[in-house]
Amino acid sequence: MALQDLVYYTAGIGFLALAKIKHTLRGYSTPKPFDISETDQCVAYDVKVVEHWLSQLRQYTRSDSFLSGKNVLELGPGADLGIGSILLLKGAAAYNACDVNDLATRTPDEFYHALFKALSDTHSRAEIDAVKEQLVRLKGGQRSQLNYVVRDDFDLAAAFGRNTIELVFSQAAFEHFDDVNATVGQLSAVCKPGAVIVAEIDLQTHSRWIRQKDPNNIYRYPQGLYNAFWFRGIPNRIRPYQYREMFERHGWRDMVIVPLSRADKHGAVAVHERFRSEINQMDCLSIMLCATKKAAADRARQ
Measured at the CA of 214, the angle between CA 210 and CA 220, to 5 degrees, comes to 100
**Average per-residue pLDDT in the chain?**
94
**Same domain flag for 99 and 176:** yes
Q: How far is Cα 54 from Cα 83, in angstroms, rounded to an integer? A: 12
Q: How far is Cα 210 from Cα 158, in angstroms, rounded to an integer? A: 39
| pLDDT of amino acid 300 | 47
Residue 296, phi-psi category: left (phi > 0), alpha (psi -120 to 50), beta (remainder): alpha
**Same domain flag for 19 and 113:** no
Q: How confident is the model at residue 32 (pLDDT cuts 50, 70, 90)?
A: confident
Structural domains counted in the chain? 2
Handedness of CA 210, 216, 218, 224 (dihedral sign): negative
**Same domain flag for 166 and 58:** yes
Reported as a single tens digit per residue, the pLDDT across 42-91 is: 999 999 999 999 999 999 999 999 999 999 999 999 999 999 999 999 99
**Same domain flag for 124 and 215:** no
- 281 and 240 in contact (C-beta within 8 Å)? yes
* pTM of the full structure: 0.94
Reported as a single tens digit per residue, the pLDDT across 251-266 is: 999 999 999 999 999 8
| pLDDT of amino acid 287 | 98
Q: Which amino acid, residue 121?
A: D
**Is the residue at 290 inside a domain?**
no
**Same domain flag for 130 and 73:** yes
**Domain boundaries, position 108:** 39-202
**Same domain flag for 170 and 104:** yes
**Same domain flag for 193 and 211:** no
Q: Which amino acid, residue 249?
A: R
| pLDDT of amino acid 84 | 98
**Same domain flag for 229 and 195:** no
**Same domain flag for 72 and 193:** yes
Reported as a single tens digit per residue, the pLDDT across 106-120 is: 999 999 999 999 999
